[in-house]
């Protein structure tokens, strides 16, 4: 689990339905832009490649935005500006720069499908935890009896930070048990630049 694409992961995952919509939209944008970028990789000049990628991504995000507005207006309203913010999701740009711009179309497509599926799974995990604890429901179905007192904090912003924090703690605990590096990835912010966090 890499810590890319964090903003949407925290902002919209207060219910499973929202997480799924966000995950699918990101998946669509990622696959579409990987396909285009790897198709045109020989045409795009090296100097303006980042701008070209961003343009391609922004086009797909606009398509996804309009599609969601037409198909599921309620969810589109709940996600609000965060659909548009898929453009600046570092994960998508990162895949274009690191993978799709150097590989044949088929491989780029597979990579995008893999990364996108992983992102959907991560979002669903967050959304599942937050909806079950925060509303006591799963996809709107009540799970517990009427005596269940919902943890309101889980659907508020702090709940997002806490959920992700605890998921990361669980991952690093598991990694530590396997005698591997008990360390989550360095935080790459932006494109191709990795700075080291102080531990």
Residues binding another protein (CB under 8 A): 3, 6-8, 10-11, 51, 54-55, 58-59, 61-62, 65-66, 80-81, 84-85, 87-90, 93, 153, 156-162, 164-166, 168-169, 172-173, 176, 182-184, 187, 189-191, 193, 195, 197-199
Between 21 and 90, name the residue whose CB sits nearer to another protein: 90
Q: How far apart are CA 144 and CA 10, in angstroms?
A: 25
| Helix (H/G/I), strand (E/B), else coil: 23 | helix
> In whole angstroms, how close is the CB of 137 to another protein at the nearest point?
22
> In whole angstroms, how close is the CB of 164 to another protein at the nearest point?
5
CB distance 16 to 127 below 8 Å: yes
Between 54 and 78, name the residue whose CB sits nearer to another protein: 54
Between 105 and 118, name the residue whose CB sits nearer to another protein: 118
CB distance 89 to 31 below 8 Å: no
Q: How far apart are CA 2 and CA 176, in angstroms?
A: 17
Token couple for 12: 């919209």
> In whole angstroms, how close is the CB of 83 to another protein at the nearest point?
9
Residue 137 — left, alpha, or beta (φ > 0 → left; ψ -120 to 50 → alpha)?
beta
> In whole angstroms, how close is the CB of 25 to another protein at the nearest point?
13
> In whole angstroms, how close is the CB of 142 to another protein at the nearest point?
26
Q: How far apart are CA 16 and CA 124, in angstroms?
A: 6
Between 140 and 186, name the residue whose CB sits nearer to another protein: 186
Q: How far apart are CA 28 and CA 180, in angstroms?
A: 34
Q: Cα separations (Å) of 104 from 56, 94, 109?
A: 18, 17, 9
> In whole angstroms, how close is the CB of 50 to another protein at the nearest point?
8
Between 71 and 169, name the residue whose CB sits nearer to another protein: 169
Between 80 and 114, name the residue whose CB sits nearer to another protein: 80
Q: How far apart are CA 166 and CA 148, in angstroms?
A: 22
């Amino acid at each position: 689990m890499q810590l890319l694409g964090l903003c949407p992961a925290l902002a919209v995952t207060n219910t499973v339905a929202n997480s799924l919509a966000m995950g699918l939209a990101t998946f669509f944008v990622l696959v579409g832009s990987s396909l285009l970028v790897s198709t045109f990789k020989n045409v795009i000049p090296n100097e303006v490649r980042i701008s070209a990628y961003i343009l391609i991504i922004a086009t797909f995000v606009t398509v996804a935005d309009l599609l969601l507005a037409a198909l599921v207006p309620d969810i589109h309203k709940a996600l609000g500006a965060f659909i548009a913010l898929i453009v600046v999701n570092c994960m998508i740009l990162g895949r274009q720069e690191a993978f799709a711009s150097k590989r044949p179309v088929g491989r780029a497509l597979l990579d995008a499908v893999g990364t996108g599926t992983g992102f959907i799974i991560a979002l669903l995990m967050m959304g599942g935890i937050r909806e079950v604890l925060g509303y006591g429901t799963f996809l709107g179905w009540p799970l517990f009896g009427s005596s269940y007192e919902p943890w309101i904090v889980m659907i508020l912003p702090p709940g997002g930070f806490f959920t992700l924090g605890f998921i990361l703690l669980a991952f690093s605990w598991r990694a530590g048990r396997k005698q591997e590096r008990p360390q989550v990835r360095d935080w790459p912010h932006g494109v191709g630049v990795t700075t080291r966090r102080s531990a």
